[in-house]
Structure 1
Amino acid sequence: MTIFFMLLALLALLFTGLPIFAGLTLFGSGMLLAVQGNLGSLASIIFTELNQYLLVAIPLFAFMAHIMIRGKVVDDLYDAAYTFTRHLPGGLAVATIMACTVFAAISGSSVATALTIGAVAIPQMLRYGYSPKIAYGVVTAGGTLGILIPPSAPMILYGITTDSSIGSLFIAGIVPGAIMALVFMAWVIFQCASVGNAVQRDTRASGAEMRRALRKAIWSIALPVFVLGGMYMGVFTATEAAAAGVWLALLVTVLIYRTVGWREIWESAQEACRLSAMLFMILAGAAVFSHVMTKMRIPQEIIESLTAMDMSAMGFIIALMLLIVVLGMFLESISIILVTTPVILPAMHQLGIDPIWYGVLLVINLEIALITPPVGMNLFTIKAITGSSLAPIIRGALPYIFLMAAVLVLVLLVPDLATWLPRTMMGNA
């Protein structure tokens, strides 16, 4: 009951129009003052949350994203995807999801994926007659693929927390990620083929056009091969991969495309700093709020209650997924992983639950959290790049929440979708 009133009060505060980072920080600070009688630990909480090596990837990937945007590399990727899909109902939206899928393998970040593809795709879709709701929804949901298709920062954090193979986790996300992308595409085609949502379509591309488009997009396709190949070969870590991606993006845009100079680099750095600052402020506010919840032992008590119910493995997983759906509405991904995983890990081992399988389920659930108000990071990313109000963005994202939930249930019922590939390739999943 305590958590219910806390969440109700937070929602009421956010609905006043207060910025999300301010609402989370003020509410969390007020609760912290009530719980421990002072705010002496506030700075330490925020510093600890933001002083994480993995977070270095966010500004680096944002910088790389803006370099690729200004260098027209993403344009070629997007154009190639559209060449293959332009004859379909909603072909431009389908191309957007395809571009998100490829860029997810470059960035490892949902926010970076939504930012990069959204900046290119949303204006194009609006120009072709797509409603803002459809355009915003496609990019908001497509961006979530950034944490399911490898590399993935949440998977790295989960692997460290559970001492699981990060390579196996990465490979385990490939099949569910591909299924998720295909489900999104099918929905977009159905949505745009229906009466009232019809949009402009082009003729089917010829074989020669497709080959030309692929040649133009070769560098955008090569980038994820370089980043992932370097990681799997042990050349660099996931965060170092972000820096390597920045260097390759600079080399391609400066030396090959010749579309980026000092001015564009400086502007890209400014935009990366601006976006990172906005996201880190939200992360800081979420850290204060989640610290108060942890200090009050609310998540731990809920999870301990579940473990004490003597459930079967499947019942335990289902109850845990429902809990994480609720937590995901109010906490950011890092907090959810760090708060829940250490508590449930002994119960998982006792029930014989495969940590690789659960890791994929967790990440899909975190994808849902990314587009679920009030603390859906992708919602605020789209808001930042479009200047739109949150209402049409949330309406556009709503169907994708149910589609993601359907994929979550599918992977829950068929664990081999997550475990077969890493078991085959690495022999340790």
Structure 2
Amino acid sequence: MDTTLVATIAVAMIFVLMAIGTPVFAALALSGALGIVMIEDLPFLLNRLKSFSFTQSASYTLTVIPLFILMGAFAHHAKVGKRLFSVANKWVGHLPGGLAMAGILTSAGFACTSGSSVATAATVGSVAIPEMKKAGYDPRLAAGSVAAGGVLGVLIPPSVLLIFYAALTEVSAGKMLIAGFVPGILTTVVFMIGVSFIGRTGMNQTARIPATPWGERLRGTIEAWQVLVLFVVVLGGIYLGLVTPTEAGAIGAVAAFLMLLAHRPKNLRSELVESFRSTSATTVMILFTMIGAGIFSYFLTLIQLPHAIAAFVVASDIPPYAVIALLLLVYIPLGMFLDAFSMMVITLPIMFPTVVQLGFDPIWFGILSVKMCEIGLITPPVGLNCFVIAGIDRETSLADVFKGSFWFVLMELFTIILLFCFPIIVTWLPDTMMGR
């Protein structure tokens, strides 16, 4: 059967299955399986599936994913987010849009302890939104800023999505993690500058709190010691070449567990069970997505589609940077229907060979891909972070949460343009790593 027709049928089947409510991983797996059968036959498919799940998921690099998620869960129950917001509030709360800035700073800080965007948004949202509403902030700014701040969880290391990209493309996981730090700080700064302008409009202009004395600010900063410890243990160890990302994840999880014990929770057993349960659920979701999308990617490889596209692009007269820009733009419509993990597993087998053949740095392209995935987290109709915030803040409608996040989408695009035009922002820090 003609490969073009088979590819068209398989891709159409994905959207049909998702339209009737089929989970994404199942839609990808079934569509890929159908494509393989049409190209080869059923015995060929069954023979490949015997060991497919094992070969797709039995990667040493992937072991860091549950460790980073567990570290974030322990940090959440140790009330790290609450302490961070208190510190950030003392430093910037009195500025125009100060409480929203504090929420973004808290998101950036908590992202250093958790690799999950949703966990970051949920943790910071439960602390920051009530304070902003009490001060009289526009609910759209309150909800939108926290939803957008949550995307820092997939960029600032330790990031599960960066590890996921490294596993799919076989680039250095340590370099990917380190590469996310400067773009994460840049995104935080851009968000805060944007909020400072928004804070001067409407009801936000009068929503101000008194400035905190300098002495109290400095004393309060000590409360953020947990983030500093985890940051040094995880990122410092990787950057200096002392530990691998997996070893750093294990050490970080143990450190976060000790912080949870030091917090002396009223019901330690319950919080431990919840931490392990959420870690297991998230890890299984990621691996199932990887396996399902891996079957579809194998089908694409079988019909040589990625290599054909790469060869066509390289042989064409399209400027290389224009090709990269077009590849990145594909993530915008995909982000309306798919989660970040699904987008990466579907697109990278096709895009990555093209990026490599054009001679671009795969680390740089990885950060840009993650940034594009971030946009999908705060745009309708899927916008997972916005759904999380709407669940926390029942008084603000989902439509208002999306409206509040719109300005941050523009800020994200501005940041992506900076990273696109100046790749050194991404590549400088990983290029200085020790033990490379």
Above 0.5 in TM-score? yes
> What is aligned with 1:396?
404
- Is 1:405 matched up with 2:410? no
> What is aligned with 2:192?
185
> What is aligned with 1:267?
271
- Is 1:238 matched up with 2:242? no
- Alpha-carbon deviations, 1:171-205, whole Å to 9, x = none? 33333222211111122222222024446322222
8 A contact 1:107–1:146 mirrored in 2: yes
Tell me how far apart the structure 1 counterparts of residues 197 and 123 of structure 2 sit (CA, whole Å).
Answer: 25
Matches within 5 A, 1:230-309: 230-255=237-262, 257=263, 259-261=264-266, 263-270=267-274, 273-274=277-278, 277=281, 280-281=284-285, 284=288, 288=292, 291-292=295-296, 295=299, 300=306, 306-307=313-314, 309=316
Tell me how far apart the structure 1 counterparts of residues 254 and 322 of structure 2 sit (CA, whole Å).
Answer: 47
Tell me how far apart the structure 2 counterparts of residues 372 and 100 of structure 1 sit (CA, whole Å).
Answer: 19
> What is aligned with 1:361?
368
Distance change in 2, residues 1:363/1:32 (3 Å): closer
Q: CA RMSD in A?
A: 3.9
Q: For 1:319, which of 321, 326, 332 is the aligned residue? A: 326
Tell me how far apart the structure 2 counterparts of residues 95 and 188 of structure 1 sit (CA, whole Å).
Answer: 10
> What is aligned with 1:95?
102
Q: Which amino acid aligns with 1:181?
A: T
Residue 358 (structure 1) shift: 1.9
Tell me how far apart the structure 1 counterparts of residues 34 and 397 of structure 2 sit (CA, whole Å).
Answer: 33
Tell me how far apart the structure 2 counterparts of residues 142 and 204 of structure 1 sit (CA, whole Å).
Answer: 23
Q: Which amino acid aligns with 1:149?
A: I
Residue 57 (structure 1) shift: 5.2
Tell me how far apart the structure 1 counterparts of residues 25 and 344 of structure 2 sit (CA, whole Å).
Answer: 20
Q: For 2:222, which of 215, 225, 231 is the aligned residue? A: 215
> What is aligned with 1:146?
153
> What is aligned with 1:85?
92
The unaligned stretches of length 5 or more in structure 2 are 1-7
Residue 362 (structure 1) shift: 1.8
8 A contact 1:67–1:253 mirrored in 2: yes
Q: Which amino acid aligns with 2:94?
A: H
- Is 1:158 matched up with 2:168? no
> What is aligned with 2:425?
417
Instruction: Indicate the percent of aligned positions where both proteins have the same amino acid.
Output: 37
Distance change in 2, residues 1:172/1:227 (3 Å): closer
Tell me how far apart the structure 1 counterparts of residues 140 and 341 of structure 2 sit (CA, whole Å).
Answer: 29
Q: Which amino acid aligns with 2:254?
A: W
Q: For 2:348, which of 337, 341, 350 is the aligned residue? A: 341
Question: How many aligned positions are there?
Answer: 418
Instruction: Give the alignment's TM-score, normalised by structure 1.
Output: 0.79
Tell me how far apart the structure 2 counterparts of residues 111 and 58 of structure 1 sit (CA, whole Å).
Answer: 15
Tell me how far apart the structure 2 counterparts of residues 299 and 94 of structure 1 sit (CA, whole Å).
Answer: 45
Tell me how far apart the structure 2 counterparts of residues 341 and 12 of structure 1 sit (CA, whole Å).
Answer: 23
- Alpha-carbon deviations, 1:198-219, whole Å to 9, x = none? 4632222221011111122223
Residue 232 (structure 1) shift: 3.0
> What is aligned with 1:169?
176
8 A contact 1:76–1:220 mirrored in 2: no
Distance change in 2, residues 1:6/1:287 (3 Å): same
SS in 2 for 1:87: coil
Distance change in 2, residues 1:249/1:427 (3 Å): closer
Residue 407 (structure 1) shift: 1.1
Tell me how far apart the structure 2 counterparts of residues 199 and 57 of structure 1 sit (CA, whole Å).
Answer: 46
Residue 66 (structure 1) shift: 4.5
- Is 1:114 matched up with 2:121? yes
SS in 2 for 1:107: coil
SS in 2 for 1:106: coil
Distance change in 2, residues 1:401/1:280 (3 Å): farther
> What is aligned with 2:3?
none
Residue 353 (structure 1) shift: 1.5
- Alpha-carbon deviations, 1:232-287, whole Å to 9, x = none? 344544344344333222323423x4x325x2342353265247537855874686
8 A contact 1:49–1:284 mirrored in 2: no
SS in 2 for 1:217: helix
Does 223-232 or 382-391 show the bigger shift? 382-391
- Is 1:134 matched up with 2:138? no
Tell me how far apart the structure 1 counterparts of residues 342 and 372 of structure 2 sit (CA, whole Å).
Answer: 14
Residue 318 (structure 1) shift: 1.1
8 A contact 2:296–2:346 mirrored in 1: no
Tell me how far apart the structure 1 counterparts of residues 356 and 120 of structure 2 sit (CA, whole Å).
Answer: 34
- Alpha-carbon deviations, 1:34-87, whole Å to 9, x = none? 755999899998888777666665655454444434433332221111100011
